[in-house]
């Protein structure tokens, strides 16, 4: 089979091609040297680089206002890559105490095996963060918006503290996406996104992103290639297609979420609604300054009847699938106490405000009344 692109003549495909090839052919050793040395553009082996990942990274670098970006095989791969690229044995990390569970495991359980230590601190307690950063922690890691209670981190204030202590400030922006906020413009050094969620947007890819300011790309690229964290072409191709509608999807889903957050309060059996767009949310004011164009598509509510009421809701509102991820075009639902926070003790869950009746919605872009009708069924 010919791989010569000349059959296209002068035609250029409107849609970017999918380069589903794990390796490239080269005319001679000189060409290989030139590509390897970065003198000429080109690709050799897909684990090191391939056109679909490069395209996606370049587009996302623009969206994140970054100097560089790299796509990885998952959000967790992106977090692993930044640790592997920047940390040495003996380094200390300061991290939020309300991170995604697997990130907490990576920092708290896995990294110590490689000589890293992490201290977990409430990112809203700036004096505690400042104290923990001293003297010279290697890295500060927080999420823009936490799961599931959607607490916000004051990124500009945290960036100033990280800068003062010479620490690299890394922000997981998955729940906000670059549509709502761009952490690099607020002083972060590196932003990480799970593209598996809203950015991919259709629950059919597993990918991550690192984007940053400054000179870190060679180290991050080496870590990704050597530790085998690279993204596959088809997922990159799908994610690029998802990007075309990301601003529209985020707008529509945020509008739906705000309407639902206000409407849910009056519904029978609902004892609490958690949404940063509500004036009673703990970080409502911060949300106003941190987020642009909306408060996001994630929303939680508590059912007074606890776990039994949640089970009833799941069975009755079957049009909102119980699906413990987020960012699909349609509304999905999760139960943090049984999924993301399952392995915390009941006392710790209580301390964090995660009750057995708490339902987390990833609000989609359906017409609002379709979602409301389904929620009404669940509450019946």
Query: Which residues carry out catalysis?
Result: 47, 100, 172, 197
- Adjacency order of strands within the sheet including 332-334: 270-274, 298-303, 358-362, 332-334
Report the residue closest to ligand PLP, judged by CB.
75
Closest approach of ligand PLP to the CB of residue 124, in Å:
17
Q: Is residue 143 close enough to count as binding ligand PLP by CB under 6 A?
A: yes
Secondary structure (DSSP) of 303-371: ETTHHHHHHHHHHH-TTS-B-S----SS-EEE-TTTTTTTTS-HHHHHHHT--TTEEEEE--SS-HHHH
> Which residues are within 8 A (CB) of 301 and not within 5 positions of it... i.e. 6 or more apart?
264, 270, 272, 273, 274, 358, 359, 361
Closest approach of ligand PLP to the CB of residue 263, in Å:
26
Q: Is residue 75 close enough to count as binding ligand PLP by CB under 6 A?
A: yes
Q: Is residue 147 close enough to count as binding ligand PLP by CB under 6 A?
A: yes
Considering beta carbons, is residue 329 or 372 the nearer one to ligand PLP? Answer: 329
Residue 152 near residue 276, CB atoms below 8 Å: yes
List 142's β-bridge partners, or say none.
171
> Which residues are within 8 A (CB) of 119 and not within 5 positions of it... i.e. 6 or more apart?
92, 93, 94, 95, 132, 137
* Span of 14-22, 69-77, 161-169, 349-357 interacting with ligand PLP by CB under 6 A: 69-77
* Span of 157-165, 170-178, 235-243, 361-369 interacting with ligand PLP by CB under 6 A: 170-178
Q: Is residue 208 close enough to count as binding ligand PLP by CB under 6 A?
A: yes
Name the helix (H) or strand (E) containing 298. Answer: strand 298-303
Q: Is residue 52 close enough to count as binding ligand PLP by CB under 6 A?
A: no
> Which residues are within 8 A (CB) of 344 and not within 5 positions of it... i.e. 6 or more apart?
352, 354
Q: Is residue 270 close enough to count as binding ligand PLP by CB under 6 A?
A: no
Q: Is residue 221 close enough to count as binding ligand PLP by CB under 6 A?
A: no
Q: Is residue 297 close enough to count as binding ligand PLP by CB under 6 A?
A: no
Closest approach of ligand PLP to the CB of residue 368, in Å:
25
Considering beta carbons, is residue 121 or 379 the nearer one to ligand PLP? Answer: 121
Among 167, 174, 181, 331, binds ligand PLP (CB under 6 A): 174
Closest approach of ligand PLP to the CB of residue 42, in Å:
29
Q: Is residue 141 close enough to count as binding ligand PLP by CB under 6 A?
A: no
Q: Is residue 334 close enough to count as binding ligand PLP by CB under 6 A?
A: no
Q: Which positions lie near ligand PLP, rule CB under 6 A?
A: 74-76, 100, 103, 143, 147, 172, 174-175, 194, 196, 206, 208
């Amino acid at each position: 089979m010919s791989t010569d692109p000349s059959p296209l003549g002068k035609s250029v495909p409107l849609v970017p091609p999918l380069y589903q090839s794990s390796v490239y052919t080269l005319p001679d050793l000189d060409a290989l040297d030139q590509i390897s040395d970065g003198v000429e553009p080109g690709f050799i082996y897909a684990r090191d680089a391939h056109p679909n990942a490069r395209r996606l990274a370049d587009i996302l670098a623009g969206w994140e206002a970054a100097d560089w970006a790299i796509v990885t095989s998952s959000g967790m791969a992106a977090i692993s890559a930044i640790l592997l690229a920047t940390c040495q044995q003996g380094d200390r990390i300061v991290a939020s105490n309300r991170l995604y569970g697997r990130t907490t495991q990576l920092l708290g359980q896995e990294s110590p095996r490689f000589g890293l230590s992490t201290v977990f601190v409430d990112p809203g307690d700036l004096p505690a963060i400042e104290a923990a950063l001293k003297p010279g922690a290697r890295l500060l890691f927080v999420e823009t918006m936490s799961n599931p209670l959607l607490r916000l981190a004051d990124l500009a204030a945290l960036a100033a503290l990280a800068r003062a202590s010479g620490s690299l400030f890394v922000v997981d922006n998955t729940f906000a996406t670059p549509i709502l906020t761009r952490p690099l413009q607020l002083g972060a050094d590196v932003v990480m996104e799970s593209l598996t969620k809203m950015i991919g947007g259709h629950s059919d890819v597993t990918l991550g992103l690192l984007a940053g300011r400054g000179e870190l790309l060679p180290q991050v690229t080496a870590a990704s290639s050597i530790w085998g964290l690279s993204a596959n072409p088809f997922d990159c191709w799908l994610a690029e297609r998802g990007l075309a509608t990301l601003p529209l999807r985020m707008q529509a889903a945020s509008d739906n979420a705000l309407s639902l957050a206000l409407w849910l309060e009056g519904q029978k059996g609902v004892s609490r609604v958690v949404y940063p767009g509500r004036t009673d949310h703990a970080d409502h004011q911060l949300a106003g300054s941190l987020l642009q164009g909306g408060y996001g598509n994630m929303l939680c509510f508590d059912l007074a009847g606890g776990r039994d009421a949640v089970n009833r809701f799941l069975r009755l509102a079957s049009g909102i699938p119980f699906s413990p991820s987020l960012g699909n075009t349609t509304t999905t639902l999760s139960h943090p106490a049984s999924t993301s926070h399952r392995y915390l003790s009941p006392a710790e869950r209580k301390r964090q405000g995660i009750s057995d009746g708490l339902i987390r919605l990833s609000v989609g872009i359906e017409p609002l009344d379709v979602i409301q009708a389904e929620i009404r069924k669940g509450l019946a």
